[in-house]
């Protein structure tokens, strides 16, 4: 495993959890991030929380990007909790898709770092994910030193 904090390339897991299978958004975002020089791990839809946590650990990712067209984002509090349990509290979770305002507030309160809505631009997504990855690496380094 690459030592945390010293790696320079941002690693992002782009995935879909739950039941839905619409992947237009996740495919485009994966391409955006890859084109921006990030290492993207991309999965098929329908991942379980456990599978996402395992992959995040194995692939040493900084950010998990979850695409949600239906209501699968309602599972994100479970994902955040499972990451903390697995010692991956530094990994940032972002969601892109159709998230109503009330649910966005609830997700942010539960520890999701950011919600990208339909209409978000390429720059907004790339810059936002890069900044969160920096934060994640900073936290990982601090954890290691502590």
Name the residue nearer to another protein (CB basis): 43 or 84: 43
Which member of 57, 75, 110, 141 binds another protein (CB under 8 A)? 75
Helix (H, G, I), strand (E, B) or coil at 114: strand
Plot region of 2 (φ>0 → left; ψ -120 to 50 → alpha; else → beta): beta
Helix, strand, coil percent values for the chain (each to nearest 5): 50, 20, 35
Using CB under 8 A, which of the segments 41-49, 52-60, 88-96, 127-135 binds another protein? 41-49
Using CB under 8 A, which of the segments 5-13, 54-62, 81-89, 98-106 binds another protein? 98-106
Residues 49-68 that bind another protein (CB under 8 A): none
Find how far residue 84's CA is from the centre of its chain.
Answer: 14
Least distance between another protein and beta carbon 78 (Å) = 8
Which member of 37, 58, 85, 121 binds another protein (CB under 8 A)? 121
Using CB under 8 A, which of the segments 21-29, 53-61, 79-87, 129-137 binds another protein? 21-29
Least distance between another protein and beta carbon 92 (Å) = 22
What span, in angstroms and rounded, lies between the C-alpha atoms of 68 and 20?
A: 8
- CA angle, 24 then 34 then 45, to 5°: 35
Q: Which residues, in sequence order, are bridge partners of residue 11? A: 39
């Amino acid at each position: 495993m690459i030592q945390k904090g010293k790696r320079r390339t941002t690693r992002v897991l782009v995935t879909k959890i739950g039941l839905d299978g619409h992947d237009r958004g996740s495919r485009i975002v994966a391409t955006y991030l890859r084109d921006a020089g990030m290492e993207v791990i991309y999965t098929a839809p329908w991942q379980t929380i456990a599978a996402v946590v395992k992959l995040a650990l194995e692939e040493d990712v900084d950010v998990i990007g979850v695409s949600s067209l239906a209501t699968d984002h309602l599972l994100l509090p479970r994902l955040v909790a499972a990451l903390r349990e697995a010692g991956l509290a530094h990994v940032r979770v972002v969601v892109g898709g159709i998230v109503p305002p009330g649910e966005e507030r609830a997700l942010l309160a539960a520890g999701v770092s950011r919600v990208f809505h339909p209409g978000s631009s390429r720059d907004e997504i790339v810059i936002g994910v890069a900044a969160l990855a920096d934060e994640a690496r900073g936290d990982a380094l601090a954890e290691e030193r502590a």
